[in-house]
Amino acid sequence: MAVRPYWKGYLKLSLVTCAVTLSPATTEGNRVRFHTLNRTTGDRIYTRYVDAETGRTVDDDHQVKAYEKAEDEFVILEDEELDAVKLDSVRTIDIDEFVEADTVEWTYFDTPYFVVPADEVGEEAFSVIREAMAEQNVVGISRLVLGNRERAVMLQPWDTGILLWTLRFGDEVRDEDEYFEKVDEAKPDKEMLSMVEKIIEERTAAWNKDMVKDPVQAKLKEIIKAKESPKRKSKPAKAEAEAEPEAPTNVINLMAALKKSLENRPGQQAKGGR
């Protein structure tokens, strides 16, 4: 069942404008969520902002944003000053730049949203923008205010709609060269490379969502369901903890490991039996 739109506004490209809606492309609605209770009374425990010195609760009217420039030294920013740096329009996705679709690195991708026309009037303009991007193999780059925060966003043609990704800002993505430059660039042994390729080929399958099932959530729901049953008397059995893998005590012979992997691949024993 489609959920209610998270955001309503306009998609704009030059003089072409159409009304659109945004809906989250992912959900955590089925995840098990916990509340913190007072074990003695069974009452819920709430979080409140308190003064670090007096310990007293601080009302919303007395809470302000501040930047710590040094230890215990803060610069207070008023709401008017914060509003002054926000986008002029919080209800328009104005596409002013395009880049080739394959040039945006995955590390910048944050949260996906489905973008669809808000009414029949805007469907033609929406379709033209989407198809033009698809034909040129480009994605649009824009900015948008979501949850009172300005975000850089990328618009990608997706089926009959558009997929909007919020993007991490440049200073939020670390430089991969700082990590990958330590990796040895020496060419691998050809025989070993061939063996690994065979293993990959045999384990390659069509993608399906069962590959990313969360077994922990399923176990938690079983425990909760058992505790809800009035007939249940015994405590739920604890899920067996997976044994910690032992740290290797010596250098593994890579060639031997690869050969053993290929010997134990599916169907190998049956062939050997004949």
Tell me, rounded to whole angstroms, the distance of Cα 54 from its chain centroid: 39
Query: What radius of gyration do the chain's Cα atoms show?
Result: 27
Enumerate the domain spans of the chain: 7-27+87-172
For residues 267-272, average pLDDT: 53
Q: For 203-232, what is each residue's pLDDT tens digit?
A: 899 988 888 887 787 788 788 888 876 654
Which contiguous run of DSSP H or E holds residue 193? helix 190-203
pLDDT of 123 over the 90 cut: yes
Question: Using CA atoms, how far apart are residues 52 and 72, in angstroms rounded to an integer?
Answer: 12
Mean residue pLDDT of the chain comes to: 83
Residue 120 makes CB contacts below 8 A (sequence gap 6+) with none
Which contiguous run of DSSP H or E holds residue 136? helix 123-136
Residue 132: the pLDDT is 94
Q: For 95-105, what is each residue's pLDDT tens digit?
A: 989 999 999 99
Q: For 139-187, what is each residue's pLDDT tens digit?
A: 999 998 887 788 999 999 999 999 999 999 888 898 888 888 888 877 8
Phi, psi of 262 (to 5 degrees): -70, -35
| DSSP character at residue 226 | H
Low-confidence winner among 15-29, 201-215, 224-238, 239-253 (lowest mean pLDDT): 239-253
Fold of 7-27+87-172: Ku70; Chain: A; Domain 2 (2.40.290)
Report in angstroms the alpha-carbon separations of 253 from 66, 190, 192, 213, 257: 57, 16, 11, 33, 6
